[in-house]
Amino acid sequence: MFFFQDDIGLLIQLQTIPFWQFLITPQAEHFAPVLHLLSSLEYRLFHLNFISYVAVVILIHLLNCVVLGKIVYVLFHSRFFSLIAVSFFAINLTYTEPFLWFSANGVVLATLFLGLSFYSWYKFITGDKLSYFWGSVVFVLLSGFSFGVGVALGLVFAFVTFICKEKINKRYFSKAAIVYIVIGLFSYLIGPIIAQNKLDRVVPLIADPIKDVILYLSFIIAGVARGVVGRFFLPGFEPRHFQIIPTIISFLPFILICFLIFWLLKAKIRRQYKLLLVTLSVFIFYPYVWSGFLRSHFGLKQALAERYVYPSLFFFSIFLVMLIKQLMDRGFIRSKKLIVVFALSIVIIQSLLFIRNTILFEERPLKTKDYFDKLQTVLRKSTAVLDLPLPSFINQEYKISQLAILPDFSKVRFVSPNYTFCTAEFIKEFEKKEISSFYKEQTQDPVIIKVFSEDLLNRCLTKFKGSV
């Protein structure tokens, strides 16, 4: 286990940018000062001890499970269904990114505040207590400043408040809706205002309106249908989009659930359950509405990005429990043992696939760790180090001299990898096996070869052949 791609840039920022500036420095399309506050604290406590970062995100995930269980208990007054919902959410093959990619941990943190927002909002609309309303407002803002999926979340709560307006005291409805709209717009606009042109994108890229709208809708539907529902019921079955029959099969669980929802909405169920079905559907789709708003131009592959599944799965677990309960109430499911067996099967299968995905995911982080280990050896044994770009698998536009997160930097001098590097001092250090092996390996990387090639290295060695 080790840091991965964007993590390196984030760690460099933590080391080189003043604390207050780091808090408001955006990360791609994410303006996340709350996440950066947590990251700063973690870095000061753990430095490059990656396991400690994983422990923190798993702790937050466990808190999310507790919040989820509490929400289900408030909705259905059943510890049994609370445990079933938690088992659905506890482990999923898509958790490799949120858990093992430091830069994506924010989605877990944002979901914690999102879950607390939903809990407080529901307590408010069913109890008219303003303290719960203001609690939801605080949590909505915290979610919005923890990760992109929380941005404009106030607008979502304004929408579901309108849907459920008949359950809210008329004295509070208008004020609540207005406050949610204001904080939704605030969380959406404050990032671009503070970050100015540093955010990658904050509005959708529209070149061809008809084509882009179709792509956007496809992004959202594919994200929920295959990224959430498909991965839950058919874990590991993800055919390529050009495989027509397997792709249709991968959408079947989603289609069946849509028919089931339609049947329930037409059936004689309590209106509050109908409102809850619609509300939960909004929260399941919202993360993909957000990500599609910003990233649909990257294609449908982004619709299946693992980090966007996490918040949708939180609400899908509640949604699924509600469907199961309705089927039990109508006699279609007669035994709780059957539900327990189904839940245990999900946990076991998802755990095995999560382990498999973790092993696959760790390939590039482990290459990064190996690179860092070799570089530290070079730093310890050199007085002058070539200031090469970071290799392609790290995918960050930094140079070695900017890796102040590593120890042993104080005693070395960094040399530009142009013709001036070829000195007697460099040749003397090149005689050391670890150093020569490191530089030769770097000349094979497609990024580094642009500034430091094997040919350039060999010409230098030939020039000082008598010294080698």
pLDDT digits (tens, 9 = 90+) for 88-117: 999 999 999 899 988 888 899 999 999 999
Is residue 1 domain-resident?
A: no
Q: What is the mean pLDDT of residues 223-236?
A: 90
Residues 322-331 have a mean pLDDT of 87
Res 302: pLDDT: 59
| Boundary residue ending a domain (300, 335, 361) | 361
pLDDT in tens, 204-225: 566 677 777 777 787 888 889 9
pLDDT-based confidence at residue 164 (cuts at 50, 70, 90):
confident
pTM of structure: 0.89
- Given a cut of 60, is residue 303 above it in pLDDT? no
Bridge partners of residue 389, in order along the sequence: 399
Q: CB burial class (10 A; 0-12, 13-18, 19+) of residue 360?
A: exposed
One domain for residues 307 and 292: yes
Categorize the per-residue pLDDT at 468 as very low, low, confident or very high, splitting at 50, 70 and 90. Answer: very low
In a domain, residue 418? The reply is yes
Do 232 and 317 touch, CB atoms closer than 8 A?
Answer: no
Taking only the tens place, the pLDDT of each residue in 5-33 is: 888 888 888 888 888 888 888 776 678 88
Residue 196 has pLDDT above 70, yes or no: no
- For residue 295, the model assigns a pLDDT of 60
- Percent of the chain residues past pLDDT 90, beyond the cut: 34
Q: 347 with 385, same domain?
A: no
The pLDDT assigned to 263 comes to 83
Q: How many domains would you assign to the chain?
A: 2
Q: Determine contact, residues 322/280, Cβ cutoff 8 Å.
A: yes
Residues 132 and 40 in one domain: yes
Q: Say yes or no: 87 and 186 in one domain.
A: yes
- Report residue 383's pLDDT band, with 50, 70 and 90 as the boundaries: confident
Instruction: Answer with the one of 312, 337, 361 that is the final residue of a domain.
Output: 361
Sign of the CA dihedral 294, 298, 299, 302? Answer: negative
Last residue of a domain, one of 329, 361, 393: 361
Angle (CA) 343-344-350 rounded to 5° is: 90
Phi-psi group of 399: left, alpha or beta (phi > 0 → left; psi -120 to 50 → alpha; rest → beta): beta
Least confident of 133-147, 266-280, 371-385, 414-428: 414-428
User: pLDDT tier at 464 (50, 70, 90 boundaries)?
Assistant: low
343 and 423 fall within a common domain: no
pLDDT of residue 350: 95
- C-alpha–C-alpha distance, residues 378 and 359, integer Å: 29
Average pLDDT of every residue of the chain: 84
The region, left, alpha or beta by phi > 0 then psi within -120 to 50, assigned to residue 406 is beta
pLDDT of the residue at 200? 54
**Do residues 368 and 357 both lie within one domain?**
no
pLDDT band at residue 424 using 50, 70 and 90 as cut-offs: confident
313 is in which domain, residue-wise? 6-361
Instruction: Specify the amino acid at residue 24.
Output: I
Structure confidence at residue 203 as a pLDDT band (50, 70, 90): low
Q: Verify that 165 and 299 share a domain, yes or no.
A: yes
